[in-house]
Structure 1
C-alpha cells in the first residue's frame, strides 16, 4: 500500500511542485490550503507524513504542527517536514520548537525534499509507526 503524504501549502505553484514530486515517487497525496483544512484532513484520515508550510491562512503551520504533537500516540509521532521562506535560523528554531522533524527553506529542490521524505518514512517504519 502506498504511503500517504499530506501537503499543506497555500501557494498553488509551490504545492503543485511538491505534489508532483511526491506522486512521481508513488506516494498517495492529499492537499490542504490552510491550517484548519489540514487538521480536518489529518484527523479524518491520518497520513504517514506531513509537508507543512509555516505561513498559511488561518491556523498557521506552527499551530498545526503543535496541534499534531499534542494528539495522542501514535498520531503525535507523525513525521513533519516544515517548509518556509522565513529566515533560516529563525524559521528553523520556530519549526523545531513547534515539533517539526525537518526544516527546509524555500526555494528547495524537489530532489532534496524527496530524500528527506524517504528518510523520515524509513525512520518511522523502523520505530514501528
Structure 2
C-alpha cells in the first residue's frame, strides 16, 4: 500500500517542522510549502490525500489557496483541506466553509488532536 501524502502549507517554520515530524511519525509522506504561491505550485504538480493550509500566509492566504484549488478542477480539487488559524471569528469560519474547507482548526492545537483529524479525513474519505 502506498504512503498517504500530505501537503503542509505553513509560513511558520517551527510549526511546519512540528507538523511534518508528527505526521511522518504516523507514516504519512509530507511535502512542505512556506507560502500560498508555493502551495499552489505543489498542488498543480503533485497529488495529495490531504492538504493542510495556514490561514495567514504570504503570497496567498489559506482561504485563497483553497478557493483556487476547488475551482481549478485538478487532481486535488476534491481532497480534504484542513485550515489552521489563529483567527477564530465566525465570519472567518463561514468564509472557510464557503470555499470548501473540510475542517477548521484553531491555533494553538495539540499535535495529537490534529493527527486524529488527519486520520479521520484521510481514512474516512469524506470531504
TM-score by length of 1: 0.91
Residue 14 of structure 1 deviates from its aligned partner by: 1.1
How many Å separate the matches in 2 of 1:44 and 1:9? 18
How many Å separate the matches in 1 of 2:31 and 2:22? 13
For these two proteins, the number of residue pairs brought into alignment is: 126
Please tell me whether the aligned partners of residues 11 and 34 of structure 2 are also in contact (alpha carbons under 8 angstroms). yes
> Unaligned stretches of 5+ in structure 2?
none
Which residue in the other structure is 2:45 paired with?
44
User: Could you give the per-residue CA deviations for residues 58-103 of structure 1, whole angstroms, max 9, x where no partner exists?
Assistant: 1111110001111226531111000010024233222112210000
Moved more, 19-28 or 89-98: 89-98
> Unaligned stretches of 5+ in structure 1?
none
Which residue in the other structure is 2:9 paired with?
8
How many Å separate the matches in 1 of 2:107 and 2:91? 14
Confirm or deny that 1:112 pairs with 2:113: yes
How many Å separate the matches in 2 of 1:74 and 1:26? 22
1:1-129 matches, cutoff 5 A:
1-72=2-73, 74-124=75-125
How many Å separate the matches in 1 of 2:79 and 2:111? 21
How many Å separate the matches in 2 of 1:7 and 1:93? 22
Please tell me whether the aligned partners of residues 37 and 59 of structure 2 are also in contact (alpha carbons under 8 angstroms). yes
TM-score by length of 2: 0.92
Please tell me whether the aligned partners of residues 48 and 121 of structure 1 are also in contact (alpha carbons under 8 angstroms). yes
